[in-house]
Amino acid sequence: MELRAERDSDVDNWKEVMLIYNAALKQITTKLEILNEEFHHVHRYNPIEHIKSRIKTSESIVKKLKRHGYESTIKNMIQYVNDIAGIRVICSFTSDIYQIAEMISHHTDIQVLSVKDYIVNPKESGYKSYHMRVTVPVYLSDRIIDTKVEIQIRTAAMDFWATLEHKIYYKFEGNAPAYFREELAECARMVSDLDKRMLSLNNEILRLESEREG
């Protein structure tokens, strides 16, 4: 499956669109890396463990457009597919997630379009993550294009769970046997408990260090 490209100009447009989304990913990634370095300089602590980025494949874009009843054109792709450019930020603790989200929202050249907090309100499957849909300006030689990027922020434990859920979902095309769903839901509860206990332990370490220094 491919996006419709009836003329050579359509192919050129596709290449330019991909260039723009890649540029947007680079900009957001660089901003996050700088924030992480600055945070370490000030607080001697890195809230970001690592960053993953990806551009959605043409096959995935077409599937998403068809699922929502749209023709597979470049124009519809830009207008209706909001997660073509995606960045996943992995943290150690849940508290880091909200710090990072706040730091991102304070950038004057980043516009936050929407937020979905699946940590406070997990999906029925047990999925947890913090999603931000933003735009960042991409500066070309003759114009500036505000480009959409989806940012997912989660702990390492949440990411481990979500990776397995994603694999199961596509293996069974969304119709996994009941025992898989039940086991995943139980694992999600375990992940949530682990994150809470690790955060509590870290906070206790910080408290003891503060008392020692004081």
**How do residues 157-191 score in pLDDT, each as one tens digit?**
999 999 999 888 877 777 888 888 899 999 999 99
Q: Tell me the pLDDT of the chain averaged across its residues.
A: 90
pLDDT value of position 178? 87
CA dist 148 to 25, 80, 90, 102, 123, Å? Answer: 9, 11, 20, 18, 23
Centre a 10 Å sphere on the Cβ of residue 56 and count the other Cβ atoms it contains: 17
Count Cα atoms within 13 angstroms, Cβ side, for 65: 24
214: pLDDT strictly greater than 80 = no
Q: Which residues contact 28 (CB under 8 A, 6 or more apart)?
A: 53, 87, 110, 134, 136, 149, 151
If we measure between CA atoms, which residue out of 99, 100, 96, 165 comes closest to residue 128?
165
User: Catalytic residues, which ones?
Assistant: 150
* Cβ pair 78, 3 in contact under 8 A: no
Q: Which fold has domain 8-157?
A: Beta Polymerase; domain 2 (3.30.460)
C-alpha dihedral (17, 49, 40, 100), degrees to nearest 10: 60
Count Cα atoms within 13 angstroms, Cβ side, for 161: 26
* 99-118 average pLDDT score: 95
Highest mean pLDDT among 7-11, 51-55, 163-167, 175-179: 51-55
pLDDT value of position 189? 95
Count Cα atoms within 13 angstroms, Cβ side, for 34: 9
